[in-house]
């Protein structure tokens, strides 16, 4: 019991000092990161000290369960910040090891462990390990989740700006598509182009496909849906740049090409509308 009280209070009351030692041990690894991120040493030290205080509280309570929720929340927020600032999951795992080493180094300097009952030392060690293992597990799970969300958000933003509807006049706009056009990207095209066209208050949209290497049947169907959707809001769609590789999926899908407004090239289409 005495060892629990001694170590628990030691870490709880000196959590800043322990955090400073952790920061010093990690300084060479994170020096450039701190310079680039704009985070101050003081704010990082205080943040790391929170985990030390939680561990101290867990030892005082003689159970990690009392602070598990706080530790999980702390680790999840740390993982999110790591993703935002470009810190790798391997670096997070390294810091957990560093916490473990520094905590025991600090305890050994302040407490005569040799005079303590081995069972008490083992129990304290088990609490520290349990909380740090929980930290590592939450790091991993949260990091993957936040990283996936960040990638998806970036992909969504990229897809949104990769469909530039450019007005040629008050009535006509063009949309040049470049790169692979799979079903997912075609769905995003459908979602983004309609409101853009409506905002521009145009009557004609030229969709150039000359930069698209190929499309499958599902994608061709999305393009046909785009035509019908534009028809419903009073906007006529003209296709340009449809080569044999693009025409075949449309034919296989049963789309009557003779019902589509198709022009050979974007240049031809623009020349038709340039005086409008």
The single-letter DSSP state of residue 54 is: H
CB 167 within 8 A of CB 202: yes
Specify the pLDDT at position 265: 80
CB 216 within 8 A of CB 252: no
79: number of Cβ within 10 Å: 24
Structure tokens at 201: 């208050």
Q: In this predicted model, which residue has the larger pLDDT, 90 or 273?
A: 90
Mean per-residue pLDDT, 165-172: 88
The yes or no reply on domain 166-273 and CATH 3.40.50.300 is no
Q: In this predicted model, which residue has the larger pLDDT, 152 or 35?
A: 152
- The CA distance from 247 to 269, in Å, is 18
Mean per-residue pLDDT, 55-70: 94
Specify the pLDDT at position 276: 45
Unique residue bearing structure tokens 């400073």: 20
Angle at 82 between CA 78 and CA 83, to 5 degrees: 120
- The CA distance from 13 to 248, in Å, is 74
Unique residue bearing structure tokens 């309570």: 61
Q: Which is nearest to 135 in space by CA: 83, 71, 56?
A: 71
Ranges of beta strands (E only) in the chain are: 166-167, 172-178, 204-211, 236-240, 261-263
Portions of the chain given CATH number 3.30.750.24: 166-273
Specify the pLDDT at position 235: 92
Specify the pLDDT at position 275: 45
Specify the pLDDT at position 54: 96
Mean per-residue pLDDT, 230-251: 84
4: number of Cβ within 10 Å: 18
* Res 25 pLDDT > 70: yes
* Res 64 pLDDT > 90: yes
* Res 274 pLDDT > 60: no
Structure tokens at 129: 């390990």
* Res 137 pLDDT > 90: yes
Q: In this predicted model, which residue has the larger pLDDT, 96 or 221?
A: 96
Give the 3-state secondary structure percentages of the chain, helix then strand then coil, rounded to 5. 70, 10, 20
Portions of the chain given CATH number 1.10.490.10: 2-157
- The CA distance from 177 to 222, in Å, is 14
Q: In this predicted model, which residue has the larger pLDDT, 212 or 36?
A: 212
How confident is the prediction for the chain on average, in pLDDT?
Answer: 85
Cβ-Cβ contacts under 8 Å for 127 (sequence gap 6 or more): 55, 58, 59, 62, 63, 64
Unique residue bearing structure tokens 């905590």: 103
pTM of the model: 0.64
Residues 173-190 have pLDDT tens digits of 999 888 888 877 888 888
CATH of domain 2-157: 1.10.490.10
* Res 159 pLDDT > 70: no
CB 78 within 8 A of CB 44: no
Angle at 217 between CA 174 and CA 190, to 5 degrees: 40
Mean per-residue pLDDT, 142-170: 82
Cβ-Cβ contacts under 8 Å for 256 (sequence gap 6 or more): none
Mean per-residue pLDDT, 199-203: 90
């Amino acid at each position: 019991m005495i060892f629990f009280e001694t170590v628990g209070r030691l870490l709880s009351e000196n959590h800043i000092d322990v955090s400073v030692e952790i920061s010093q041990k990690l300084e060479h690894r994170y020096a450039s990161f701190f310079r680039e991120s704009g985070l101050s040493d003081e704010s990082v030290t205080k943040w790391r000290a929170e985990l030390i205080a939680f561990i101290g509280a867990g030892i005082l309570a003689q159970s990690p369960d009392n602070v598990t929720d706080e530790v999980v929340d702390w680790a999840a927020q740390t993982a999110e910040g790591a993703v935002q600032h470009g810190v790798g999951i391997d670096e997070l795992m390294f810091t957990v090891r560093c916490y473990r080493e520094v905590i025991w180094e600090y305890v050994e300097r302040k407490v005569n462990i040799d005079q303590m009952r081995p069972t008490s030392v083992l129990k304290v060690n088990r609490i520290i390990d349990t909380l740090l293992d929980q930290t590592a597990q939450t790091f991993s799970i949260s990091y993957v989740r936040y990283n996936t969300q960040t990638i998806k958000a970036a992909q969504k933003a990229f897809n949104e700006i990769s469909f530039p509807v450019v007005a040629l006049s008050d009535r006509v706009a063009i949309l040049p598509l470049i790169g692979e056009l799979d079903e997912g990207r075609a769905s995003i095209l459908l979602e983004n182009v309609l409101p853009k066209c409506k905002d521009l208050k145009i009557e004609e949209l030229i969709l150039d496909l000359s930069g698209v290497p190929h499309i499958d049947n599902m994608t061709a169907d999305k393009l046909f849906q785009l035509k019908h959707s534009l028809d419903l809001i009073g906007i006529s769609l003209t296709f340009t740049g449809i080569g044999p590789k693009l025409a075949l999926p449309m034919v296989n899908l049963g789309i009557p090409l003779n019902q589509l407004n198709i022009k050979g090239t974007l240049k031809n289409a623009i020349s038709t509308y340039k005086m409008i």
